[in-house]
Each structure stands twice: as C-alpha cells, then as structure tokens.
Amino acid sequence: MHAVVRLIDARGKAHRLTLGDLSDGGIFVETPDGLSLAVGEQVAVQVQGLPVEAPVQPMRVVRISPKGIGLQFIDP
C-alpha cells in the first residue's frame, strides 16, 4: 500500500508522506531526511487522494527508524 497521507505536526506544519504499512493499531509512514518528530509527540494524519475527504485522525509517534515513523491511533 503506497497511499499519500498529510501529517500535521505539533507545531501545525503539514507534511506529505507515503504510507508504508497499515494495521489495526496504527500506521508506518516513510519520512524524508530532516523531518524531526519525537516519540510521544501527538500529530494529526489524513489520507489523501480518496474520492471523498477522509477524516483527520489524531495519532502518537511510537517509533522512529531510519526509514520512517510508526504512529499509533488515538481515540478522538
């Protein structure tokens, strides 16, 4: 699955990223060099390119790797 997501960080800056994996508990997104997020940081994510506007989902950074970040779903 290689969908595009919009991630809004805690500072309100929006980033367009590629969705690498999706599970019941969260997602993994591929991140470019220079994207600085911290484990525990809360962000908002919205899938792009769907026929209808997707909801904005609150998420928490739970893992950071050289290839990207793992995000956990948070109940709104």
The pLDDT value recorded for residue 41 is: 96
Domains of the chain: total:
1
57's tokens: 């989902």
> Measured between alpha carbons, how far is 39 from 48 in angstroms, rounded to an integer?
24
| Consecutive 10-residue averages of pLDDT for the chain (76 residues) | 87 93 92 86 94 94 93 88
The pLDDT value recorded for residue 8 is: 95
The pLDDT value recorded for residue 1 is: 54
Looking up residue 62, the CATH number of its domain turns out to be 2.40.10.220
Question: Quick check: pTM over 0.85?
Answer: yes
Give the chain's length.
Answer: 76
Structural domain harbouring 34: 4-73
Q: HSE (CB half, 13 Å, CA atoms) of 21? A: 11
The pLDDT value recorded for residue 64 is: 93
